[in-house]
Amino acid sequence: MARSVLLTGGAGYIGSHTYVALIEAGYHVVIIDDFSNSKASVLSRLSQLTGVNRVSSYEGSVLDPAFLDQVFDAHDFDAVVHFAAKKAVGESTEIPLEYIEVNCSGLLNLLKVMKGRGVRRLVFSSSATVYGEPEELPIHEDAPRGYTNPYGFTKLMGEQILEQAAAADPAWAFGILRYFNPVGAHPSGLIGEDPSDIPNNLMPYIAKVAAGDLPHLGVFGSDYDTPDGTGVRDYIHVCDLAEGHVQSLSKLIETDDGHTVNLGTGNGLSVLEMLAAYGRACGRDLPYEMKPRRPGDVAACYAEASRARALLGFEATRGLDDMCASSWHWITTGSKDA
Ligand code: WQD
């Protein structure tokens, strides 16, 4: 009997890629999404990609307990992967209460309905942002936590909510996955990152410059204490990240042992290195201008990635050129009529 998994926010960037990886791993998957930061058209792309005739999905919000009850009444889930959250650092500084409501109250609603149904396995989308300003690099999971913006605050609070729940009731099994910087797209070009407005993040912004939709990249800061003075991050291919979720889920189902792991490559790349790599993928040097530092940014952030390998067998295998080529393939094919 195939294991049944609920993906909240499953039509989003990481959720949709994880849907494909879970179907390929033999799971039965149900998606809930309110389409506030994703498009319903993704569902037909997922059907095309996986061969699932009709993707099982419900439109609604984790802020609606009655909606969650309706979904859990209709399915007997073995686990939940929780993607549904607001995730833009800059926006979080403008509307912190909405971020706390969706990211924290939404998580509480989900935990309540799960407990009521005896569904005790949850994979949680956390983020390297919970390390705040890292004291040492690479960053190990036991590094001190903090936050530098309301989005990071909600991710740290989410982890602490899960820690409190598990400490009080060992029946819970949580896979807490701290994403570094997800980039790239599925090799088919059918799904990818599809920001509705001007992107905040580096790669989707570079992609729009490459596509001619934006004139040049503004490089936020050239005087950091890094090899070329620009910000250094740990970029991880979204397909590697999706596979990490499958490994976390199978660990929970096989052992009910909770875990907290970094999902990164362990390598740091600068803004200029990423820009040059994208230029190779799209076949031309991309224009940029040096700008002042962006408030809240840290100089460098990259993972100590050994725990995910030891606990889950996770290994990021896709390199920088694949990250850029897959993004460019999505931009020039699938994103056109998404
Ligand atoms: C990367 C680098 C910028 C845009 C955040 C969240 C993290 C995750 C990913 C949700 C930095 C530079 C960027 C631009 C630039 N989000 N940059 N010009 O800030 O590392 O991480 O997004 O899960 O949790 O914290 O990602 O892509 O915004 O920035 O120079 O137009 O690119 O300064 O050095 P970040 P980013």
Q: Is residue 104 part of a domain?
A: yes
Query: What domain range is 143 assigned to?
Result: 4-184+234-265+303-317
Q: Is the pLDDT of residue 338 over 70?
A: no
If one counts the domains in the chain, the total is 1
- Of the candidates 27, 151, 179, 235, the residue annotated as catalytic is 151
Q: Is residue 244 part of a domain?
A: yes
Q: Is residue 12 part of a domain?
A: yes
What is the CATH classification number for the domain harbouring 253? 3.40.50.720
- The tens digit of pLDDT for each residue in 9-61 reads 999 999 999 999 999 999 999 999 999 999 999 999 999 999 999 999 999 99
Q: Is residue 292 part of a domain?
A: no
User: pTM of the prediction?
Assistant: 0.97
- The tens digit of pLDDT for each residue in 232-274 reads 999 999 999 999 999 999 999 999 999 999 999 999 999 999 9
pLDDT band at 156 (very low <50, low <70, confident <90, very high): very high
Q: Is residue 322 part of a domain?
A: no
- The tens digit of pLDDT for each residue in 191-215 reads 999 877 778 899 999 999 999 999 9
Q: Which atom of ligand 1 is nearest to the CA of 87?
A: 10
Q: Which residues line ligand 1 (CB under 6 A)?
A: 87, 89, 127, 129, 179, 181, 200-202, 205, 217-220, 231, 233, 271, 294, 297
Q: Is residue 201 part of a domain?
A: no
151 is catalytic: yes
* 220 CA → ligand 1 middle, Å: 10
**Mean pLDDT score, 330-335:** 90
Q: Is residue 308 part of a domain?
A: yes
Q: Is residue 324 part of a domain?
A: no
* 79 CA → ligand 1 middle, Å: 30
Pocket test for ligand 1, best of 139, 181, 203, 262 (most atoms within 8 A of CB): 181
User: SS3 for the chain, per residue?
Assistant: CCCEEEEECCCCHHHHHHHHHHHHCCCEEEEEECCCCCCCHHHHHHHHHHCCCCCEEEECCCCCHHHHHHHHHHCCCCEEEECCCCCCHHHHHHCHHHHHHHHHHHHHHHHHHHHHHCCCEEEEEEEHHHECCCCCCCECCCCCCECCCHHHHHHHHHHHHHHHHHHHCCCCEEEEEEECEEECCCCCCCCCCCCCCCCCCHHHHHHHHHCCCCCCEEEECCCCCCCCCCCEECEEEHHHHHHHHHHHHHHHHHHCCCEEEEECCCCCEEHHHHHHHHHHHHCCCCCEEEECCCCCCCCEECECCHHHHHHHCCCCCCCHHHHHHHHHHHHHCHHHHC
